[in-house]
Amino acid sequence: MDNLVICDRCGSDACYKQEVNLDVNLYWCYGCGFTSNTAMKIDSEFLKEQMDILPELYKSLIVEDETGKIWIPSTVNIPDKGMVFANGTGPNNWKWTAVLAVSVKEEEKEKFKLKNGGYAEWRMDMNTQQHFEERDYIEALSYIGVLPK
Protein backbone atom coordinates (compact mmCIF):
# COMPACT_ATOMS: atom_id res chain seq x y z
CA MET A 1 0.00 0.00 0.00
CA ASP A 2 1.23 3.50 -0.87
CA ASN A 3 0.51 6.54 1.28
CA LEU A 4 1.89 9.76 2.73
CA VAL A 5 3.35 9.62 6.23
CA ILE A 6 5.28 11.93 8.55
CA CYS A 7 9.00 11.86 7.68
CA ASP A 8 11.09 10.35 10.46
CA ARG A 9 14.03 12.50 9.31
CA CYS A 10 12.60 16.00 8.91
CA GLY A 11 9.02 15.86 10.22
CA SER A 12 7.44 16.80 6.89
CA ASP A 13 3.96 15.47 6.14
CA ALA A 14 4.97 14.86 2.52
CA CYS A 15 6.87 11.58 2.89
CA TYR A 16 5.80 8.95 0.39
CA LYS A 17 5.78 5.41 1.82
CA GLN A 18 5.58 2.39 -0.45
CA GLU A 19 5.11 -1.10 0.93
CA VAL A 20 7.23 -3.46 -1.19
CA ASN A 21 6.42 -6.57 0.84
CA LEU A 22 5.71 -7.47 4.47
CA ASP A 23 9.35 -6.80 5.44
CA VAL A 24 10.36 -3.84 3.25
CA ASN A 25 9.00 -0.31 3.02
CA LEU A 26 10.48 2.48 0.90
CA TYR A 27 10.37 6.13 1.95
CA TRP A 28 10.92 9.20 -0.24
CA CYS A 29 10.35 12.53 1.44
CA TYR A 30 9.25 15.40 -0.78
CA GLY A 31 9.83 17.75 2.16
CA CYS A 32 13.58 17.19 2.55
CA GLY A 33 14.46 15.10 -0.53
CA PHE A 34 15.96 12.22 1.42
CA THR A 35 15.14 8.56 0.93
CA SER A 36 15.28 5.47 3.12
CA ASN A 37 13.98 1.95 3.41
CA THR A 38 13.52 -0.54 6.21
CA ALA A 39 16.48 -2.60 4.96
CA MET A 40 18.90 0.32 5.25
CA LYS A 41 20.15 0.15 8.83
CA ILE A 42 23.57 0.63 10.40
CA ASP A 43 25.75 -2.43 9.69
CA SER A 44 23.31 -3.78 7.08
CA GLU A 45 24.71 -5.31 3.92
CA PHE A 46 22.47 -2.99 1.89
CA LEU A 47 24.01 0.12 3.48
CA LYS A 48 27.53 -1.24 3.01
CA GLU A 49 26.80 -1.70 -0.72
CA GLN A 50 25.48 1.88 -0.93
CA MET A 51 28.59 3.25 0.80
CA ASP A 52 30.77 1.69 -1.88
CA ILE A 53 29.07 3.67 -4.66
CA LEU A 54 27.80 6.90 -3.05
CA PRO A 55 29.59 10.20 -3.70
CA GLU A 56 31.44 11.63 -0.69
CA LEU A 57 28.88 14.43 -0.25
CA TYR A 58 26.04 11.92 0.00
CA LYS A 59 28.00 9.90 2.57
CA SER A 60 28.53 13.05 4.65
CA LEU A 61 24.78 13.79 4.60
CA ILE A 62 23.63 10.37 5.84
CA VAL A 63 21.39 10.56 8.90
CA GLU A 64 20.05 7.84 11.19
CA ASP A 65 16.56 8.58 12.53
CA GLU A 66 15.15 7.61 15.91
CA THR A 67 13.73 4.37 14.47
CA GLY A 68 17.17 3.28 13.16
CA LYS A 69 16.48 3.94 9.47
CA ILE A 70 19.30 5.50 7.48
CA TRP A 71 18.38 8.44 5.24
CA ILE A 72 20.41 9.52 2.19
CA PRO A 73 19.84 12.28 -0.35
CA SER A 74 17.89 11.16 -3.38
CA THR A 75 18.89 11.68 -7.00
CA VAL A 76 16.27 12.05 -9.70
CA ASN A 77 17.37 11.60 -13.31
CA ILE A 78 14.63 11.67 -15.95
CA PRO A 79 16.28 11.69 -19.39
CA ASP A 80 13.73 13.91 -21.15
CA LYS A 81 13.04 16.26 -18.22
CA GLY A 82 16.12 16.82 -16.08
CA MET A 83 17.99 15.89 -12.97
CA VAL A 84 17.91 16.85 -9.27
CA PHE A 85 20.86 16.00 -7.04
CA ALA A 86 22.65 17.12 -3.88
CA ASN A 87 25.56 19.37 -4.74
CA GLY A 88 28.17 21.04 -2.54
CA THR A 89 31.33 20.60 -0.54
CA GLY A 90 30.03 19.14 2.71
CA PRO A 91 27.20 18.87 5.22
CA ASN A 92 27.28 22.61 6.01
CA ASN A 93 27.62 23.76 2.40
CA TRP A 94 25.24 22.06 -0.02
CA LYS A 95 21.97 22.59 -1.89
CA TRP A 96 19.75 20.70 -4.28
CA THR A 97 20.80 21.38 -7.86
CA ALA A 98 18.29 20.99 -10.65
CA VAL A 99 19.21 20.97 -14.34
CA LEU A 100 17.01 20.69 -17.39
CA ALA A 101 17.35 18.10 -20.15
CA VAL A 102 17.81 19.36 -23.69
CA SER A 103 17.81 17.54 -27.00
CA VAL A 104 21.16 16.36 -28.27
CA LYS A 105 21.95 18.30 -31.43
CA GLU A 106 23.02 16.47 -34.57
CA GLU A 107 26.55 17.92 -34.33
CA GLU A 108 26.87 16.67 -30.70
CA LYS A 109 25.73 13.08 -31.27
CA GLU A 110 29.22 11.54 -31.32
CA LYS A 111 29.78 12.79 -27.75
CA PHE A 112 26.65 10.94 -26.62
CA LYS A 113 27.15 7.51 -28.15
CA LEU A 114 25.48 4.68 -26.21
CA LYS A 115 26.95 1.26 -25.49
CA ASN A 116 24.36 -0.35 -27.74
CA GLY A 117 25.66 1.69 -30.68
CA GLY A 118 22.86 4.25 -30.72
CA TYR A 119 22.91 7.84 -29.54
CA ALA A 120 21.33 9.57 -26.55
CA GLU A 121 18.46 11.84 -27.46
CA TRP A 122 18.77 14.01 -24.35
CA ARG A 123 21.55 15.49 -22.24
CA MET A 124 21.62 17.46 -19.01
CA ASP A 125 22.32 21.14 -19.66
CA MET A 126 24.43 22.42 -16.78
CA ASN A 127 23.82 25.98 -18.03
CA THR A 128 20.23 25.65 -16.78
CA GLN A 129 21.15 24.71 -13.23
CA GLN A 130 19.27 26.26 -10.36
CA HIS A 131 19.99 25.75 -6.68
CA PHE A 132 17.40 25.08 -3.99
CA GLU A 133 17.60 24.89 -0.22
CA GLU A 134 17.08 21.47 1.40
CA ARG A 135 13.45 22.15 2.32
CA ASP A 136 12.76 23.44 -1.23
CA TYR A 137 13.26 20.00 -2.77
CA ILE A 138 9.72 19.97 -4.14
CA GLU A 139 10.45 23.24 -6.01
CA ALA A 140 13.52 21.61 -7.57
CA LEU A 141 11.29 18.78 -8.84
CA SER A 142 8.84 21.35 -10.19
CA TYR A 143 11.66 23.18 -11.98
CA ILE A 144 12.48 20.09 -14.06
CA GLY A 145 8.78 19.41 -14.70
CA VAL A 146 8.29 16.31 -12.55
CA LEU A 147 5.67 18.13 -10.46
CA PRO A 148 3.41 20.99 -11.53
CA LYS A 149 4.57 24.52 -10.73
Name the amino acid, one letter, at 60.
S
- The CA angle 47-53-103, to the nearest 5 degrees, is 125
Q: Which H/E stretch holds residue 138?
A: helix 137-143
106 φ/ψ angles, rounded to the nearest 5 degrees: -55, -45
Residue 44 contacts residue 33 (beta carbons within 8 Å): no
Q: Which H/E stretch holds residue 46?
A: helix 45-53
| Higher per-residue pLDDT: 116 or 82 | 82
Q: pLDDT category, 147, cuts 50, 70, 90? A: confident
Length of the chain: 149
Q: Is 46 left (phi over 0), alpha (psi -120 to 50) or beta?
A: alpha
CA proximity to 78, closest of 100, 57, 61, 51: 100
Question: Which three-class secondary structure state does DSSP give residue 40?
Answer: coil
pLDDT at 91: 95
- Per-residue pLDDT reduced to its tens digit, 44-101: 898 899 899 999 999 999 999 999 999 999 999 999 999 999 999 999 999 999 999 9
pLDDT score of 1 more than 80: no
